[in-house]
Amino acid sequence: MEKNVQALTREDLAAASEAFRAERANLVAKNAVSSRGIRAAARVPEAVAASALGFDVEVPQGDRCDQERSGRCWMFASLNTMRLRTIRKYNLKTFELSQAYPLFWDKLEKSNWFLGNVLDTLDEPVDGRLVSFLLADPIGDGGQWDMFKSLVKKYGVCPKEAMPETACSRNTREMDSYLTRYLRGCACRLRRAHEAGVGADDLASMRREMMGEVYQLLATCLGEPPAGFEVRLRDKDDRLALSGTFTPQEFFAEAVGMELDDYVSLISAPTADKPFGHAYTVSRLGNVEEDGGVRYLNLPVSELKRCAMEQLADDLPVWFGCDVDQSYLSDEGIMDTAALDVDALFGFPVEGCMDRAERLEFGESLMTHAMVLEGVRLGADGAPELWKVENSWGKDHGRNGFDTISDAWFDEYVYQVVVDKRYLTDEERHVFETEEARVLAPWDPMGSLARTR
């Protein structure tokens, strides 16, 4: 098809300039935005006031955690839903599980998963969409609940003291950069060997050797994960509540005791290619190879809210994934579609130019960040109005480390919640447990990984 050439003319530019300067509101907006920035100029104080604190259902947590300069939000959110059980069981003031420990195993397992994908696509063109996608970000920090569940089932958890943070866990950029470079080199070597006629057994031997070197790189950056450790937990009254020697698997069973397989991922993607009421998975997305990938049930966002509210009412927090930077006053910790009136600032629809489905379809929105719902404020009719959120950006972020989400923002930008399957209807549970999952392309927006910092 011949390209339709339509150059901008001097007349076009002159008309645009004249129309801009003719409106007083444009000049006021120009002065405000050029001096303060878009969000500061578009901030709506009345909407900010509506996000005042006060919740009908609230799940108290421990001290706020900080993922620092890493994309481990999904790990922090997962561990924060788990540590509450330990805090309650032993009457602790606060408690923190090691975030460096699952980081080590996730990088190792993702590396093995990546090399498996490389071997599985040896005959695909290296510049084709699939291989290019696989090479783009082989071991990034991001992840999904199902991937974290796989790590815990295989490796357990440990207290933060048993594997503390390092320079490379607090800021993962250098480690990720060098590991990515090494793995791309591995992909090159495996493909070259295949082209030279090397057989499957020898390629598998090369893969094992490569994984030994990945282990060495990770151990250098993060230290080796403990096979066992001493534990001494003291309760709020300084009495010894738990002591002994544990493996990470034993510690999870004893101190957390969460039935991981009872928790399921619900997504809400209202696009035509994903009818509600069906199970989905994402091709080539995962980390622990023997545990498979991810599994979702796609439901209307109202169902995600219903399940989240019921779990909160049972005094349990809720892992969720969202597009965090949309309509977000980060310094104030407020996510609210009414808090920023960008469209009024510019005088035409910018934020309002697409609906939820269109934003997903045209690459404007996807899940970028995972956090924990720990409270909700209800209206007179019992419907949610405001959600309280535990973030993982430290106690100095937002309001003492937590944010709020308006219910309207939830409607637009929350894409996933993880809940106990007992909150599903019988029909929803049956579909999740029995239906053969429909396979989404690796680059589908529902394959996005929570990774924002």
In whole angstroms, what is the distance from residue 441 CA to residue 280 CA? Answer: 11
Q: Closest by alpha carbon to 144, among 293, 360, 258? A: 293
Does residue 298 contact residue 269 with C-beta atoms inside 8 Å? Answer: yes
Measured distance between the N- and C-terminal CA atoms of the chain, rounded to whole angstroms: 43
Number of H helices, E strands in the chain: 17, 14
Listed in sequence order, the residues at least 6 apart from 387 whose beta carbon sits closer than 8 Å to its beta carbon are 373, 375, 376, 377, 404, 405, 406, 407, 410
Does residue 295 contact residue 362 with C-beta atoms inside 8 Å? Answer: no
DSSP assignment of 182-237: HHHHHHHHHHHHHHTT--HHHHHHHHHHHHHHHHHHHHHHH-PPPS-EEEEEE-TT
In whole angstroms, what is the distance from residue 136 CA to residue 66 CA? Answer: 27
> Is 369 a residue of the active site?
yes
Q: Of the listed 65, 73, 186, 221, which one is catalytic?
A: 73
Per DSSP, the three-state class of 371 is strand
Does residue 72 contact residue 99 with C-beta atoms inside 8 Å? Answer: yes
**Which two three-digit tokens encode residue 451?**
């990774």
> Is 73 a residue of the active site?
yes
**Which two three-digit tokens encode residue 442?**
């690796």
Per DSSP, the three-state class of 378 is strand
Q: Of the listed 4, 168, 391, 397, which one is catalytic?
A: 391
In whole angstroms, what is the distance from residue 128 CA to residue 303 CA? Answer: 38
Q: Of the listed 168, 278, 369, 400, which one is catalytic?
A: 369
Q: Closest by alpha carbon to 390, among 123, 117, 82, 134? A: 82
In whole angstroms, what is the distance from residue 325 CA to residue 322 CA? Answer: 9
Judging by beta carbons within 10 Å of its beta carbon (0-12, 13-18, 19+), is residue 128 exposed, middle or buried?
A: exposed
SS (H, E, C) 50-104: CCCCCCCEECCCCCCCECCECCCHHHHHHHHHHHHHHHHHCCCCCCCECCHHHHH
**Which two three-digit tokens encode residue 120?**
């599985």
Place of tokens 């390092």: 166
Maximum separation of any 2 CA atoms in the chain, in Å: 80
How big is the chain, counted in residues? Answer: 453
**Which residues are the active-site residues?**
73, 369, 391
